[in-house]
Structure 1
Amino acid sequence: MKSVIGQAKWPWMAAARPLRHVEHFDNAGKGAWGSLKFLVSFRKPTATVLGALIVVASYATGPLSQQAVKTYPCEVSAEGIARISTAERITRHDSMISGAVTNAKMSTAIINGILGLPPDNSQLFQCESGNCVFRNFSEVTHSSVGVCSNCTDVKSDLIEFEESKTKLVGRYRNSYRFHNNSGFSINTGVEPELFNVTTPVANTIDSRKDGPINTSFLTLSVAGCVAQPNSDAPTDRYCEHDYTNMPRLSSDLDIVAANCSLYPCIRHYNGNVTNGTLNEHLVSTDPMESYAEGYISVTQPCFLIDKWYDLSNISNAPRNGLNWTSWTSDGAEKEAPAQCVSTMDYTEFRGIRYFLKANLNGQCKLYDLTERGPTSSDAVNGIGNSSQLHCETGWWLDALYNGGMATFVSLEAAHGNMSIAISNRMRIYGLTSSETDTSNSYQEGTCSKTSICVRLEEWWLLYPAALLVLTSALLVSVYVQSCRDSGRQPIWKSSMLPLIFYNISEEHCSDERNDGRRIGSSVPLLQLPELESRADKTIVSFCSGNEGARFIVEEGVVEAK
């Protein structure tokens, strides 16, 4: 653009103009400041105005072009092991031979799950790069044998039994149970049994027919109650309820009843490893069926020979090259590729059943902090005031009671956390589906690492592209015009040589510009290359003596050829 503006000054100076205009043209091609001053100094040709605007606008090209290149963190493939532990086959591992007792590791996992302690997932995966992804089908990346939880709110099934006609210590004495002959109950007596849990075990000859492990919870609660004066109750607290099956329940108390079941199942997960941490969530579950040796299920989806299968198309799986297995469940013969079949030994689930029978079972009374013993007649008023329990079985029942703040949601969460803890423990020692293979089962994935990727946002380039087109058009236009006028006006662009070789004369210029005469003392009208050649051969010195400042030729000029 400097050359375009520089060339424009020669036709401009063909007319009578202030000599200072030469400097303005020269400065306009050097930078933004010179161009800005040029734009506001005097009227000038349209082409030079456009050129000066382009010079100013070009300073924004760099910053805007840089915006077109964006960096962002991305995951790229990396070498290394990527595995998530799964269980395709659960044998008797944490249960004793009789299946009546679980070992310390499973027992600890169960209690930690009930208490809601954060699980240690470090043994459930191996990811050498710290970031691993796994192939998924319908959002499922891996499946595993485990146990599942299901809880139902059964408060509406409770029956209220009257134990006193009048209030005692501000409350009616009532007991609450599911039927008249039930020994499982809670009450609002003088020494209330305000938390009760039971996990019964059926006396069946074949424990494989026992079905799910059922646990019932009953508790008095003050969760959701509001602190306010209450003349109908012994404490200033109000619990909003209107139970038709429990009309005598005190208005400063509420009640929670839940039936929860634990059963063998297939758990389907979606998971990945990010920054060394396993992130997985449960997508769905499928219950397992009972069969001769325990519990069995077809894992779906199942990936075989580059194709996904489920119950809708598992019968179409190829017979050649795959080991198929068959079993009888509910009187029906079934078969599937062995690789897609998951099992659990009945003794392993039986051990969990008997552990819960012994430890998730028992009655609790309010603990009297003043007498440091069983409840007193005054202790009933302490329900919900961060109260503690005295339980027959263990302190973990007090944790479920949660100081009188237990709810159906909290009991459901505790039972669900227990199922997660048991399932994770099974995944650690779970085996592959092959009965001849004693290696652990896992889902393989791909390692990745965080890198910096670059993307191009093209629309940021529209501005410099528009300047480029405009500059090119202006350059072509000026070049064509200069070629047309080259006979009268050489293409000197922004060179300073014409100013040196052609001195200022007080003579008027003819209409033919040079009229065949030499301009200056001895130099004819030359094109820029010829001026440059002559300048190379002309040796001068600048003199500022008494005769006036000027360049003095030291040697004779060799005529340019």
Structure 2
Amino acid sequence: MAHHADFEYRLPDIDTYIPSPDFTRGQELYDTPSDGYRSRGRRQDLRQIYNRGGYDPITVNAISPTRTVQSLGGGDVSRADSRRTTTSDLPYDDPERYSSNIHEPPKRFPEKKQGFFKRLFGNDGWTYEILSILVSIGCIAATVALLCIMNGKALSSWNWPIQPNALISIFSVIAKASLMYSISQCISQFKWILFRQQARPMIDLQRFDDASRGSWGSLKFLMGARLTALATSVACLVTIASLAIDPFTQQVIKFSSRQVPSSLETYTRRSSGYDSGIKVNGRTPGKISTGMQTATIMGALGQMSGPPYVCPTGNCTYPTVSTLGIRSICKDVTAGTKMNCPAWPTELNVNSNCTITTPIGDDITIRYAMRGSRTQQFLWGNIFTTTPRQYPIGYQPPPAILYEFSAWNSTGTPGGVNGSTVHECTIELCERTYADLKVTRGERNTPTITTSALQFSHYDIDEMSYHFGAKGTKDGVDVNYTISLADMSAMGTTLLTMFSTSLYPNTTSSGQEGQPGTPTQGLDFANILYLSGNLPELVDHMTDEMTNYMRSINATAVARVPGEALQQETYIDVHWPWFALPAGLVFLSAMLLLTTIVVNSRRDVKIWKSSVLPFLLHPLHGDDDVIEGGKMEKISRMEDKAEATRLKLGDIAQDEVRFIVQ
């Protein structure tokens, strides 16, 4: 290129000239083919000038064509003459020949003195990353503390306006966000560390950047991961696993149900005595109370109400309760019964009597006969008979006994004794003990019932009542039960009426034998006894209901025995295994950050993290094909080029860092 004769070209003083980072296009000085400096030796000469003077040859002629012409004082120039002035036209080894008027020294941007807070919270360190990890650890610690406090406690004890699972979710979201910030910065910094360490494909820059942005990029990074990027691979795994933090945290707390004691009044009843209030006029006993009579009939009919209790929650337990009660003892004495029966009648309508004597001495009379006419006959007689106990003259039964009787039940033809059954029964006062009484979901179980005989203590003339003690207790009177004389007499008379009966079969209007046990009118208790099919069970049910009634009346002798009511309670149940993932990821993130800081410090790599400024201020160096790659507008073409290009982050001069193409 021709030079203007009026200008002397002089290179600035090498000792005082300090190149600026702004002049980064000097590569053209020795990379432009037209300048004739494509040879390796020529470029090395130019680098020697740079090494000697602290500047690159780019500072000599980094002047645009227009500026070159204007500086020379020229006007219009041809396109061929508007090229950059290159050192091919100038003896580059004689800097004194160059004029300083043409080349102004590049500007230098001195570092500003940073204040304390900017040094502490600036981007040149790890303050924000450390703080983010501390926030994550704090959220995990707060979650653990909250779970420990609330584990096993009732949900009703939680008084905050926000539910515990929502609060745990908030903590997990904050912990996850803080964790991801730190992890993304670690991934970004590791790309500088690895590129500083060795040359890597240019496409890895994009892969690292994608990995730092989220789970999808991390997954793609892992698919092409190398052992040299082990720490980054672990960070990518943490990024992907962090997607499960929210669902895992939601599984930590479960709201379960359990039964807990309730403060509602719960009780069963026990009776230490019975006095219905009826009076005895002279020697005529009053009638049995209406309630007792109803209980007796209902029990005989098999309608069981069960022991009295109050259970407001439908789930209750009760302690063992001993109470004054009534029991029945019925023995099958058929085998020991003596029968004295004449031959079956041969004449019509002539009654015959059969006497059955029980082992205890009760005589039961069975009547039977042949009824009908000469042409039509049928057998008639008793099918069920009960008789009161026949005590010897001068014998008085124990005061606790209310009534004793014997019963005969025909299982064959009317009046027939073959195949019949005989029972001896006693109904007496006793002590009943109820154990394991429970109510579950409103349904009462059948408690364990044991009975024991009462020992007569004394008769109180003033109160006109009998006093009893449970047998086996100290002195026989440790447990004191009372019952009024009027009630004892009334119950005995009522039972005598009920269990002194006989039942005969009815006949039809045509004279044929009717169905046995068919009542004619009113309440036929004999028919109830006959149709029950199980006399001992019927009498047991009856005495059970009589006892329950004695425990249910409102009287001073009836006391409440507290039970325990159980109610359903929703409580917080912590499942700690689900919390292992969130806590483990936070711990692993802290270790990754510590690893990144230590490795970065040992490798003495600039802390650039995810900043894009290094790509702009430290461009490529060392390969014209990449630097002047031509028109690359499509991402796919850029990626193909990046796959084939290897870079290393290196120093090309003092304090001059570039991505060097290798």
The two structures have a TM-score, normalised by structure 1, of: 0.61
After superposition, the C-alpha distances for 1:388-422 in whole angstroms (9 at most, x for unaligned) are 534899334434444xxx554xx333222212211
Q: 1:297 aligns with which of 463, 469, 494?
A: 469
Root mean square deviation, CA, Å = 4.6
Matched with 1:51 is 235
Matched, 1:150 2:329: yes
Question: Structure 1 residues 362 and 496, CA, compared in 2 at 3 Å: closer, same or farther?
Answer: farther
Offset of residue 286 of structure 1: 2.8
CA distance in 2, matches of 1:361, 1:452: 59
Matched with 1:327 is none
Matched with 1:70 is 254
Contact residue 90 and residue 430 of structure 1 kept, 8 A? no
CA distance in 2, matches of 1:498, 1:372: 122
Which one has the largest radius of gyration?
2
Matched with 2:486 is 347
Matched with 1:429 is 553
CA distance in 2, matches of 1:59, 1:247: 89
Matched with 2:654 is 516
CA distance in 1, matches of 2:211, 2:356: 97
Matched with 1:106 is 292
Question: Structure 1 residues 28 and 160, CA, compared in 2 at 3 Å: closer, same or farther?
Answer: farther
Letter in 2 for 1:9: K
Contact residue 608 and residue 614 of structure 2 kept, 8 A? no
CA distance in 1, matches of 2:573, 2:541: 43
Matched with 1:196 is 385
Secondary structure of residue in 1 paired with 2:620: coil
Q: Between Structure 1 and Structure 2, how many residues are aligned?
A: 425
Question: Structure 1 residues 285 and 6, CA, compared in 2 at 3 Å: closer, same or farther?
Answer: farther
Letter in 2 for 1:281: P
Offset of residue 46 of structure 1: 2.8
Letter in 1 for 2:469: S
Letter in 2 for 1:144: T
CA distance in 2, matches of 1:190, 1:81: 62
CA distance in 1, matches of 2:184, 2:367: 96
Offset of residue 102 of structure 1: 0.5
Could you list the runs of 5+ residues in structure 1 that have no partner in the other structure? Answer: 168-172, 223-232, 234-245, 250-254, 300-309, 315-332, 434-439, 522-561
Q: 1:417 aligns with which of 541, 551, 575?
A: 541
Q: 2:301 aligns with which of 115, 132, 153?
A: 115
Offset of residue 55 of structure 1: 3.7
Question: Structure 1 residues 248 and 298, CA, compared in 2 at 3 Å: closer, same or farther?
Answer: closer
Letter in 2 for 1:357: L
Letter in 2 for 1:196: T
Offset of residue 488 of structure 1: 2.0
Question: Structure 1 residues 392 and 7, CA, compared in 2 at 3 Å: closer, same or farther?
Answer: same
Letter in 2 for 1:443: V
The structure with more helix, counted as a fraction of residues: 2
Letter in 2 for 1:362: T
Q: How does 1:372-451 map to 2 (within 5 A)?
A: 376-377=512-513, 379=514, 388-390=517-519, 394-402=523-531, 406-408=532-534, 411-429=535-553, 431-432=555-556, 440-445=558-563, 449-451=567-569
The two structures have a TM-score, normalised by structure 2, of: 0.53
Letter in 2 for 1:413: E
Secondary structure of residue in 2 paired with 1:144: strand
Offset of residue 119 of structure 1: 1.6
Secondary structure of residue in 1 paired with 2:236: helix
CA distance in 2, matches of 1:100, 1:482: 107
Secondary structure of residue in 2 paired with 1:190: strand
Letter in 1 for 2:599: Q
Contact residue 327 and residue 430 of structure 2 kept, 8 A? yes
CA distance in 2, matches of 1:63, 1:275: 35
Contact residue 192 and residue 605 of structure 2 kept, 8 A? no
After superposition, the C-alpha distances for 1:312-371 in whole angstroms (9 at most, x for unaligned) are xx7xxxxxxxxxxxxxxxxxx6664xxx53323343233222211112332223455xx2
Letter in 1 for 2:277: H
Could you list the runs of 5+ residues in structure 2 that have no partner in the other structure? Answer: 1-182, 347-351, 370-377, 460-465, 624-646
CA distance in 2, matches of 1:101, 1:430: 19
Q: 1:286 aligns with which of 434, 452, 464?
A: 452
The structure with more strand, counted as a fraction of residues: 1
CA distance in 2, matches of 1:27, 1:166: 116
CA distance in 1, matches of 2:332, 2:202: 99
Contact residue 100 and residue 355 of structure 1 kept, 8 A? no
CA distance in 1, matches of 2:488, 2:331: 22
CA distance in 2, matches of 1:26, 1:395: 100
Q: How does 1:14-33 map to 2 (within 5 A)?
A: 14=196, 15-33=198-216
CA distance in 2, matches of 1:118, 1:190: 38
Letter in 1 for 2:409: T
Contact residue 457 and residue 477 of structure 2 kept, 8 A? no
After superposition, the C-alpha distances for 1:85-120 in whole angstroms (9 at most, x for unaligned) are 321222353675644630222111100011111428
Question: Structure 1 residues 40 and 110, CA, compared in 2 at 3 Å: closer, same or farther?
Answer: same
Letter in 1 for 2:620: S
Offset of residue 429 of structure 1: 2.7
For CA contacts below 8 A with separation 6 or more, give which structure has more relative contact order.
1
Matched, 1:488 2:605: yes
Offset of residue 12 of structure 1: 3.9
Q: 1:497 aligns with which of 612, 620, 638?
A: 612
Secondary structure of residue in 1 paired with 2:430: strand
Identity of aligned residues (%): 19
CA distance in 2, matches of 1:49, 1:26: 13
Contact residue 503 and residue 517 of structure 2 kept, 8 A? no
Contact residue 211 and residue 217 of structure 2 kept, 8 A? yes
Question: Structure 1 residues 207 and 257, CA, compared in 2 at 3 Å: closer, same or farther?
Answer: closer
Contact residue 65 and residue 461 of structure 1 kept, 8 A? yes
Contact residue 200 and residue 648 of structure 2 kept, 8 A? no
Matched with 1:85 is 269
Matched with 1:2 is 184
